[in-house]
Amino acid sequence: MYAAASDPKRARLAAVQRLLREPLGVFGVTLVVLMLFGAIFADWLSIYEPNKISPRDRFQGPSWDHLLGTDQLGRDLFSRVLHGGRIALSVALFSTLASLVIGIVLGLIAGYGPRWLDNLMLLFFDSIKSFPTVMLALALVTLFGPSLTAVVIVVVLVNVPGYARIIRTQTLALKESEFVTAALSMGASTPRILRVHVMPNVVGPLLILASMDIPVVIAIEAGMSFLGLGVRPPTPSWGAILNDGFTAIRDTPWIVLAGGLPIIITTLGFTFLGETLRDVFDPRLKGRG
Amino acid sequence: MTAILEVKYLEVTFRVGPMMRRQDLLGVAGVSFDVNPGETFALVGESGSGKTTLARAVNGLQPISAGSVTFQGQRVDTLSVREMKPLRRDMAMMFQDPVGSLSPRMKVGDLVTEAFRIHRVEADLQSETERLLSLVGLTMDFAERFPHQLSGGQARRVGVARAIALNPKLVIADEPTAGLDVSVQGEVLNLLGELRERLGLAMLIITHNLHVVHHVADRMAVMYLGRFVETGPTEEVFSAPAHPYTAALLSANPEPDPDKAQDRITLPSEVPSLLARPEGCEFHTRCPWAKDKCRKVVPDATAINGRRVACHYPLDEGARPPPKKEPS
């Protein structure tokens, strides 16, 4: 468990080497890097303004002018896909980070705090978890209106209970450990014990699980945008592009493909990456998730 | 000389069992002793006799249900965690598991100087690390290591360095030799003895290892079922145990000299459950000398030449051989 990483630097280097020996890992890294590259340099790579409407060019098939064709308003799909990637990835990274921070803090409190607080928090986590994601999303959008913030809140609400539970269980185990008792007997404060003695020993597995959750987050964003609960038009999002193409799928299937393929590629990339990361860093978790 | 640590009628109760059939279990059942500055006091007893619980209670890690703990003239059992903190500078504790009591992701250098950070003591941590590591016989190379890269003996030395970092007045050592092989045990004991001389530490040592007690302790107490059955200066207790239980423990202690006669006193049956304490003298179920009175009347701890013995019929000098067991 916590005896795994001996010299952290060397262990990390060895892990990266092992990651690059796994074909699945290399494939995942390639896809993810490709998507990140597209998202970061979207402004340079796209020739057209992603929201520029030109009715004359509507429903054009893929060509050298429009690599992925155009949609019902004549907008260049390649530009929209690149900019949509920006939204998908930034939502994924930001909301995963937010879920991690909140999950870790709540998990530490539940695991280390008094019993009644632990029970109360578990009840809270279970209540949130019992909502289907789509229902949760609908309820929140009804309250706040469709926006990226709503997407982030839904993702955080969906992720936090699981993350907090993982941290809680491990904190509970470490609470009685001799090195925590030793710190107590030296007069260490609760924040110090949690920060210095507990947290470094519990976050490792969670980071790996969180990296495997990124595809789920991307799917949530795309799904909500598809349903019109996420970004507002005309902001480009893969889910929104999918929805644009959905109505014209019989005559112009490339619009749906333009929205769907990047979702598939990114999801696959992160899944492969996450699974290889898990196997490389923590073989005990193999076959889970 | 005023005692640095005074424990009076200390009791620790655990609540056990399922909700409806909850029972109170006395882990430590009314124990009194004191430790003088610079003195080493040893607690001996079998596993489950309440030694560790007692140590934790003294250190404020375990709430007590009766009695009092006074450290440096101040009652500590009534203090809150925050009020207790400044006192912890003067009372350090070492735990049983040499490696397990070191935080696994901290380097030895950080572990050794953690007390400085906890108590916000201004110091050059680099030179303090050097001083502490050399005090316990480790080189500076160890400062960059992680606990699992240490052997048991090295980890124990780090534990000692951590305990003495802020020059405490009292060190509580719970099984300081547990998990170490014999040669390393000797090294650690010599180290503790040396540091005690140099720094004037008082020590409370908890152990089941009688050789350790003989080696380091000035005075000792023998625990049985959470009570002291005998207290006294180590030499005297060793040369003439007055309580039958002490005599049995001492006779069971492996003797390195094969020519020495060994009169083992074997104790019949098991240690009674703390939930069903025997009536009268709690040792009567296993005592080879037990008489009728022992089964009915609880013996008080009576003082015999500077020792306290809780027995109706304390053994004389040169202990009588135990009566032959009647065939039953």
Q: pLDDT tens across A215-241, in order?
A: 889 988 888 888 888 887 788 888 888
Interchain pair A186, B162: CB under 8 A: yes
Q: What is the mean pLDDT of residues A69-98?
A: 86
Residues in CB range of A91: below 8 A, 6 or more apart: A148, A151, A152, A155, A217, A218, A221
Residue B302 lies in a domain: no
The answer to whether A3 contacts chain B (CB < 8 Å) is: yes
Residues in CB range of B322: below 8 A, 6 or more apart: B265, B288, B289
Interchain pair B118, A196: CB under 8 A: no
Q: Which carries the bigger pLDDT value, residue B7 or residue B47?
A: B7
* Residues pairing with B296 in the sheet: none
The answer to whether A144 contacts chain B (CB < 8 Å) is: no
Domain that holds residue B210: 5-223
Q: Where are the alpha helices (DSSP H) in chain B?
A: 51-58, 81-88, 108-112, 114-118, 125-135, 152-164, 182-199, 210-216, 234-239, 244-252, 292-296
Interchain pair A182, B102: CB under 8 A: yes
Please identify which residue in the block is written with the tokens 């003239």: B73
pLDDT band of A111, cuts 50, 70, 90: very high
Residue B60 lies in a domain: yes
Interface of A with B in 150-189 (CB under 8 A): 177-179, 181-189
Residue A8 lies in a domain: no
Q: At what angle do helices A77-112 and A148-175 cross, to 10 degrees?
A: 30
Interchain pair B106, A196: CB under 8 A: yes
The count of domains in chain A is 1
Residue A144 lies in a domain: yes
Q: What is the mean pLDDT of residues A234-262?
A: 84
Please report how many Cα atoms fall inside a 13 Å half-sphere around the Cα of residue B162, on the Cβ side.
34
Residue B237 lies in a domain: no
- pLDDT tens digits for range B173-226: 998 888 788 888 888 888 888 888 888 889 999 988 888 888 889 999 999 888
The count of domains in chain B is 1
Residue B294 lies in a domain: no
Structure tokens at B51: 């030694």
Q: Is the pLDDT of residue A214 over 80?
A: yes
CA A201 to chain centre: 23
CA B116 to chain centre: 26
pLDDT of residue A277: 81
Q: How far is A288 from chain B (nearest CA, A)?
A: 26
The b-or-e profile of A204-214 (16+ CB within 10 A means b, else e) is bbbebbbbbbb
Q: Quote the CA–CA distance of B7 and B217 in Å, as a whole number.
A: 18
Residue B177 lies in a domain: yes
Residue A242 lies in a domain: yes
Residue A3 lies in a domain: no
pLDDT of residue B312: 84
**CATH code of residue B116:** 3.40.50.300
Pairing of strands B227-233, B202-207: unpaired
pLDDT band of A2, cuts 50, 70, 90: very low
Beta strand segments in chain B, E: 5-16, 23-35, 40-45, 66-71, 74-75, 91-94, 170-174, 202-207, 219-224, 227-233, 301-304, 307-310
Domain that holds residue A23: 18-285
Residue B64 lies in a domain: yes
| Amino acid identity at A225 | S
Residue A69 lies in a domain: yes
From the number of C-beta atoms within 10 Å of its C-beta (0-12, 13-18, 19+), residue A80 rates as buried
Structure tokens at A221: 């964003």
From the number of C-beta atoms within 10 Å of its C-beta (0-12, 13-18, 19+), residue A126 rates as exposed
Interface confidence (ipTM) of the complex: 0.85
Q: How far is B4 from chain A (nearest CA, A)?
A: 18
The answer to whether B107 contacts chain A (CB < 8 Å) is: no
Three-point CA angle B312, B313, B316, nearest 5°: 145
Residue B318 lies in a domain: no
Give the C-alpha distances (Å, rounded to integers) separating A21 from A11, A16, A35, A205, A266. 15, 9, 21, 21, 21
Interchain pair A185, B105: CB under 8 A: no
pLDDT band of B281, cuts 50, 70, 90: confident
Give the C-alpha distances (Å, rounded to integers) separating B115 from A120, B121, B139. 35, 8, 20
The answer to whether A199 contacts chain B (CB < 8 Å) is: no
Task: Give the number of other CB atoms < 10 A from CB of residue A5.
Answer: 18
Residues in CB range of B28: below 8 A, 6 or more apart: B10, B11, B12, B50, B53, B54, B57, B64, B226
Residue A195 lies in a domain: yes
Residue B324 lies in a domain: no
- pLDDT tens digits for range B61-91: 888 998 999 999 889 888 888 889 999 999 9
- pLDDT tens digits for range A115-152: 999 999 999 999 988 888 888 888 888 888 888 888 89
Closest residue of chain A to B86, computed from CA coordinates: A187
Cβ atoms of A118 and A175 within 8 Å: the answer is no
Residue A70 lies in a domain: yes
Residue A257 lies in a domain: yes
Give the C-alpha distances (Å, rounded to integers) separating A58 from A70, A250, B155, B218, B260. 6, 15, 74, 97, 106
Interchain pair A186, B118: CB under 8 A: yes
Q: Quote the CA–CA distance of B197 and A74 in Å, as a whole number.
A: 89
pLDDT band of B271, cuts 50, 70, 90: confident
Please identify which residue in the block is written with the tokens 């203090």: B79
**CATH code of residue A248:** 1.10.3720.10
Q: Please tell me which of the candidates A7, A179, A185 has its beta carbon nearest to residue B103.
A: A179
DSSP 8-state secondary structure symbol assigned to residue B326: P
Please identify which residue in the block is written with the tokens 């279970």: A126
Task: Give the number of other CB atoms < 10 A from CB of residue A239.
Answer: 28
Mutation site for B-interface testing, chosen from A6, A185, A197, A201 by largest number of B Cβ within 10 Å: A185
From the number of C-beta atoms within 10 Å of its C-beta (0-12, 13-18, 19+), residue A105 rates as middle
